[in-house]
Chains A and B, each alone.
Chain A
Amino acid sequence: QQQVKQSPQSLIVQKGGISIINCAYENTAFDYFPWYQQFPGKGPALLIAIRPDVSEKKEGRFTISFNKSAKQFSLHIMDSQPGDSATYFCAANTRAGSYQLTFGKGTKLSVIP
C-alpha cells in the first residue's frame, strides 16, 4: 500500500517557468514532510522540509505548500533553471513512530533552455 502518492512522474518546464510537483498522503499521523533532490549518479539530498503547523515554507526559489485538510503538499520551483533538472522525491514520516521515511515514487524534472 503506497502511503505517499506523487505526481507527475515526469515534468518538462522551460527555463524561467514554474515547476510544480504534487504529493498526497493517507496516514494522518505523518508530521514531517521533506522533499529530496537527486542528481544523476548521486544519492538523494534534503532540499526543503515542512511540518504541518505551517501552510507554507519558502527557501529561495523553492516553496512547499501544505494543505492539512486535503492531506496534500506540493513543491513549487520558481524561475526554474537547467541546473534544477533532477529527480525529486516527496516523503513523510512521524516522530512518534520509528522515524522511517516513506517516499513517493519520484518526479523527473527536465528544465529546457
Chain B
Amino acid sequence: DADVTQTPRNRITKTGKRIMLECSQTKGHDRMYWYRQDPGLGLRLIYYSFDVKDINKGEISDGYSVSRQAQAKFSLSLESAIPNQTALYFCATSGGRGVNNEQFFGPGTRLTVL
C-alpha cells in the first residue's frame, strides 16, 4: 500500500462549490504539507502542519483552508471554488528532527473547476 494517499484522484466541480481534498499517511510523520502545481509555475506551498495543533499558511493560502484531524490525516478545503483553482494538488509528509528533510509526496489530485 502507498505511504501517502490522496482522495479523490480526480475531481470536476463547479464555481462556488465547496470541496475537500483528503490526505492520509502511514509513515508516522509529524509534518504534512499541501502544494499546488501549475504548468510552468512549479510547486507552491499552500499550508503546512508540524503537528495536530500547529498549522501554518504557506505562500498561496488565500481561498483555501485546512484541517489536521489526526497525525495521519490532513485535509484541504476550497470553501467556494473558482476556475483559477484548477490545478494539480499534492500532499506531502516529512519526519525526523532536522536531519532528513526529505518530503514524500502523494500521487496528486487533479482538480478542475468549471
Interface residues, chain A, CB within 8 Å of chain B?
Answer: 6, 9, 32, 34, 41-46, 49, 89, 93, 95, 98-101, 103-106
- Separation of A46 and B31 alpha carbons in the complex (Å): 16
How far apart are A78's CB and chain B's nearest CB, in angstroms? 23
Across the A-B interface, how many residue pairs have beta carbons closer than 8 Å?
Answer: 53
Tell whether, in the assembled complex, residue B101 and residue A99 are in contact, meaning their CB atoms are under 8 Å apart.
Answer: yes
Contact with A along B45-73 (1 / 0, CB 8 A): 10010000000101000000000000000
B42 and A104 form a contact (CB under 8 A): yes
Q: B42 near A105 (CB under 8 angstroms)?
A: yes
Residue B80 is within 8 A (CB to CB) of chain A in the complex: no
Q: What residues of A have a CB within 8 angstroms of the CB of B43 in the complex? A: 44, 89, 101, 103, 106
The reply to whether the CB of B105 lies closer than 8 angstroms to some CB of chain A is yes
A-chain residues with CB within 8 Å of residue B108 when the two chains form the complex: 41-43
Query: Could you say which residues of chain B place their CB within 8 Å of the CB of A98?
Result: 48, 56
Task: Report chain A residues within 8 Å CB of B45.
Answer: 100-101
State in angstroms the CA–CA spacing of A49 and B58 once bound together: 23
Known interface pairs A34-B101, A45-B105, A93-B101; A105-B40 also in contact (CB < 8 Å): yes
What 4 A-B pairs come out closest when comparing CB atoms? A43-B105, A105-B42, A103-B43, A103-B42
How many angstroms between the C-alpha atoms of A74 and B43 in the bound complex? 19
Complex contacts, B31 vs chain A, CB 8 Å: 99
